[in-house]
Structure 1
């Protein structure tokens, strides 16, 4: 697990978090499930649906337990102590070459302190910005790597993926291919709010 001094505080990056075999199995499971095409990029929700318009996890958002094919990844996250409680919400984002996601902080009232994102298929660059200081950091997300955000990285820095066809790595242009990310979170529920 890498905690590089150039990265924002609270951000850890772990290459090769899962095996090639597990990565292939995850992609196959996702492609065997229906993709939601209502956004510019295709998505799938598990556990709870996030309402992008309301920027909230609404009372009727519960979709059921996470599917069995995610259990091995959740177990690895728990074993590595990335979560105090097992994550109960996962979103899969698919990015075609040229697609990205704008700068944001994951919904603070909706999700807990820990955010973990697993990269599959193509590598891409993620940019972190500190809105107060103007500081900017870049990180290449390689296939099968895990990015974990908590503390300042979770709450004080935005993260984004520039919408472009290629990234420059060590002076070389690397074309992007299809990329999928699986983001693991815990939904913050108010007292008395149930799952049914």
Structure 2
């Protein structure tokens, strides 16, 4: 057998083994994914995935401990770039003329906000109504009714929100908010154990959905500029407008 034939045979053998190794890795990966999915489906707490979970930003959460991370990765969802720059512009174009006629307040009725102006809006332009309907359909199940009025909160550059839990008599178990103009850091703190907390990075045009345990068991706040830090990096907060949708509160028996 000639040297050329032997060399070609060795090359073919190496190529064959490379393909076999690749196939073996692929098979192991498929088996791993299948087992992971099977375990989830057979878990007592398993639920079918939804578009909400598919779009969660994996790096928005900085938690003090693994238990808090587990709870809030499920009940405090953040979806980056939920709206486009053009959609953000259209929302601001409708809101700012009215907001500009208001003055920033530094004393809130329940002492929860510093440096803000706010309003509620029921009627929107056709273009913006489509955006807000998309938020509601994405955040709330079909059987849940959203409040007719949308809350608009305009925080000044030096404004911030103090720790609080929204009163259950005003809204239900889910709060969905669009963040506009400026990034900020929202902090959630366990209401019964202040050592358990998480920082949430909210980028402009993102949508956050706070529900269930995050809604009822954790206070939430927007940090002022001097303490606006996420994973060791300063997050420069300037003026921020949030557009907040809530669902109807549950009826409480007398």
TM-score for the superposition, normalised by structure 1? 0.77
Q: List aligned pairs for 1:84-99, cutoff 5 A.
A: 84-99=144-159
Structure with greater helix share of residues: 2
Gaps of 5+ in 1: 47-64, 192-196
The CA distance in 2 between the partners of 1:153 and 1:89, in whole Å, is 23
* 8 A contact 1:116–1:184 mirrored in 2: yes
RMSD after superposition: 2.5
The CA distance in 2 between the partners of 1:38 and 1:121, in whole Å, is 17
Paired position in structure 2 for 1:12: 77
Greater alpha carbon shift after TM alignment, 27-36 vs 134-143: 27-36
- The one of 110, 119, 125 equivalent to 1:44 is 119
- The one of 190, 199, 216 equivalent to 1:138 is 199
TM-score for the superposition, normalised by structure 2? 0.61
The CA distance in 1 between the partners of 2:170 and 2:139, in whole Å, is 21
Paired position in structure 2 for 1:2: 56
Greater alpha carbon shift after TM alignment, 84-93 vs 128-137: 84-93
* 8 A contact 2:171–2:248 mirrored in 1: yes
- Whether 1:186 and 2:247 are equivalent positions in the alignment is yes
Gaps of 5+ in 2: 1-54, 59-65, 107-115
The 1:189/1:32 distance shift into structure 2, 3 A limit, reads: farther
Which structure has the larger Rg? 2
The CA distance in 2 between the partners of 1:176 and 1:81, in whole Å, is 26
Residue 137 of structure 1 deviates from its aligned partner by 0.3
Q: Where does structure 1 differ by over 4 angstroms across 4 or more consecutive aligned residues? A: none
Higher RCO, 1 vs 2 (CA within 8 Å, ≥6 residues apart): 1
State the aligned residue count.
Answer: 173
- Whether 1:66 and 2:123 are equivalent positions in the alignment is yes
Paired position in structure 1 for 2:175: 115
